[in-house]
Amino acid sequence: MKHEENDLGIDRMIEQSTTSEVPPDVEASLRTQLADFRTRIEQSRPGRIESIVAGIRQSLGQYRNGIIGLAGAAAVVAVAVLFLNPGGSGEVYAAAAHRLQQARTLSYSIVLNSNPYVAVDFTHQAPGFQRLKCSWGMEIRADAVAGKTLILFHYSKQYIFGTEAEAKQLVRSADEAFEQFRSLPERADEELGEKSEDGKTFVGFRVRDNDGITDIWVDRASGQPDHVDITILASGKQVHQMKIDNIRLGEQVEIDGMDLEPPTDYNLVSETADQSGPARGGEQQLPPIVARIRTDPEKTVIVLGMSGPHEQHLEAIARVEAELKRLGVKPLGEPFGQYYNAASDPLPIWEVGFPVPAGVTAQAPFEVRHIPETLVAEADIVGPWGGDSSRRWGAFLRSVLEQGYAPAGPAQESWLGAEGTGAEQRTQMKVAVTKAQ
Amino acid sequence: MVDDSRRDYDALIRPIESQMIRSVWRITRNREDAEEAFQDALLAIWKAWRHIRRHPNPRALVLRICINCAHETLRQRARRSRREELGGIPETLADPSLSPSQQASDQEQHEEVMRAIGTLPRNQGQAILMKVVQELPYSDIAAALNCRESTARKHVARARAKLRTLLAHLFPSKAEEVASL
């Protein structure tokens, strides 16, 4: 009885404290929003892929929002693709869906097309935290509780803080995706049967949508969603292929990775600073770097994959040259290096190579790769090779973003000129890009 | 396509437009927060539109999204004021029909109650708001939260229990009640 009275008291208190007529100006403002919403509903239905493209376009309008938005949108679409529409009719699917619903943490990688190479490693730690690590050396950590976003540029060892609104927006997107766990429909459009890879058996489910085909593969043994293949269509034609893999559910996420304090050796990007970024310890200021956007023609390259310190460059290039000599192949251009993470990473992953004529074949550890025509940004730095690459890459990436493009691949450098002639040496920076608008 | 969408909108949203607006306003009672929360709600509804159309109780779900976004604004506000300790309470619009002292007390109580609700776990906060502000039956709350009715009751009961503790000082003591008679 006492509790019932108290319940009524609480309810009455909430009621009293929320009883308030909507002021006419607020009502008018919210009704305007509703009218816009209705138009939006009538004109288009949101497609998963449409959402990300719109998100990218919208978010790349401004430098800071752009970098957050791009990676954020990529992650959101991946989550959305995973959870908005997957259907399933079997117990395997139901079990996988249940695991997704119960997960408190979620991590996965997204790879958009194999070339140019784009990957985003996404970690969501409920409640309110998420982290995005992009293949082009950028990392975003958002904490909606503290209302902070930290963006790290690993190539240039720089950082900026996002606004509270940006943190809120990023994390809310992920939270919404988690909410979508509840919206799993009962049936998939198609069951794909089983396939075996690396000693594992996967059961596939296909979901079709106006803008794409999503194949979800569930590990038969563990019941975990293992990977998702997405074909993005436009006017019925395939325009992109996306893969989500390395899906980890409910795993402990390392706390350090969510730290919102930048590493001590990183410098704050000044929004009004010149493009060369801050010079350290008596270094000379770099001249402004303006990226050129152009289409790189298709080509064939031979590469040698490497890991470990970048000091091995000369040795690695010499090994490729020796292999080319052994094959009797003359390279078609200067050597280049391609970097999949920062030199400061515990285990730097990179490769060196040369452009070669089509039709060349090679044996491991060498690899011959065909690179299709690619939109790239590039810039040349005149002067001795080496030097502070982090500073020039910071300035270069900034120029790319300011021109309305987004990096869409790993960083690449070519070294032009001759050994020992520092004054004539040139370093060419290059990165695959996509147009934002 | 447009006709279908219009029909969907007219069937699902139009009858509850006022309820959506009222819900968001009653919780936020601040123009800026209300606009932000409503915008967030409409975006979430748009993103989930296909799902909402298929949901067994779409209107309850839409109202839940409104409550969710308004509640999220409260939670942000609660965190902000905790962080700033003072001065972090956003200005609210007072009810002009009340005297200045009543307005002050009304505002204080609203702030305090909403701050307390803002500290509740998400499901509990949403459930109590749906129950009291939107006056939804437990069956609708359960449908909106995608849980069993008994769970929805538990969310509300736990929310009430926590609020009883958090807001105990706002209840008049027995002695005050007797004195006021």
pLDDT digits (tens, 9 = 90+) for A267-283: 776 543 343 343 444 44
pLDDT digits (tens, 9 = 90+) for A321-367: 999 999 999 999 889 988 876 666 667 778 899 999 988 888 888 98
Average pLDDT over residues A99-105: 57
pTM of the model: 0.42
Tell if the CB–CB gap between A33 and B110 is shorter than 8 Å: no
Among the ranges given (A40-54, A167-181, A313-327), the one the predictor scored with the smallest mean pLDDT: A40-54
Topology (CATH level 3) of domain A274-435 = Multidrug-efflux Transporter 1 Regulator Bmrr; Chain A (3.20.80)
Domain segments of chain B as ranges:
2-89+104-172
CA-based nearest residue to B171, from A303, A213, A129, A14: A14
Class of domain B2-89+104-172: mainly alpha
Identify any residues that bridge with A296 across adjacent strands, giving them in sequence order.
A374
pLDDT tier, A211 (very low <50, low <70, confident <90, very high otherwise): low
Most confident residue range from A2-11, A259-268, B87-96, B169-178: A259-268
Contacts of A380 (CB under 8 A, 6+ apart): A416, A426, A427, A428, A429
Q: Quick one: pLDDT at residue A137?
A: 66
Residue A236 has pLDDT above 80, yes or no: no
Query: On the CB side of A310, how many CA atoms lie within 13 Å of its CA?
Result: 16
Single-letter residue type at B72: E
CA–CA dist A167, A160 (Å, integer): 13
- A&B contacts, CB < 8 Å: 127
CA–CA dist A189, A205 (Å, integer): 8
B6, B17, B35: residue with CB nearest A29: B35
pLDDT digits (tens, 9 = 90+) for A371-405: 878 888 999 887 776 666 666 777 787 788 777 77
Residue A151 has pLDDT above 70, yes or no: yes
Chain B contacts of A14, Cβ < 8 Å?
A: 113, 117, 128-129, 132-133, 163
Percent of chain B whose pLDDT exceeds 90: 6
Domain segments of chain A as ranges:
48-258, 274-435
The number of angstroms, rounded, from the C-alpha of A78 to the middle of its chain's C-alpha atoms is 10
Q: Quick one: pLDDT at residue B146?
A: 73
Chain A contacts of B35, Cβ < 8 Å?
A: 26, 29-30, 33
Q: Quick one: pLDDT at residue A101?
A: 52
Identify any residues that bridge with A294 across adjacent strands, giving them in sequence order.
A376
Tell if the CB–CB gap between B72 and A182 is shorter than 8 Å: no
> What single string gives the DSSP state of each residue in A61-129?
TSHHHHHHHHHHHHHHHHHHHHHTS----SHHHHHHHHHHHH-SEEEEEEEE-TTTT-EEEEEEETTTE
Q: Name the closest residue on chain A to residue B61, using Cα atoms.
A: A183
CA–CA dist A396, A382 (Å, integer): 14
Element (H, E) at A165: helix A164-179
CA–CA dist B49, B46 (Å, integer): 5
Q: Name the closest residue on chain A to residue B111, using Cα atoms.
A: A17
Most confident residue range from A49-63, A344-358, B165-179: A344-358
- What is A48-258's CATH number, 2.40.50, 2.30.30, 2.50.20, 1.10.287? 2.50.20
A19, A23, A51: residue with CB nearest B93: A23
Tell if the CB–CB gap between B42 and A33 is shorter than 8 Å: yes
From residue A73, give the alpha-carbon distance in Å to each of A57, A65, A260.
Answer: 10, 11, 21
pLDDT tier, A119 (very low <50, low <70, confident <90, very high otherwise): low
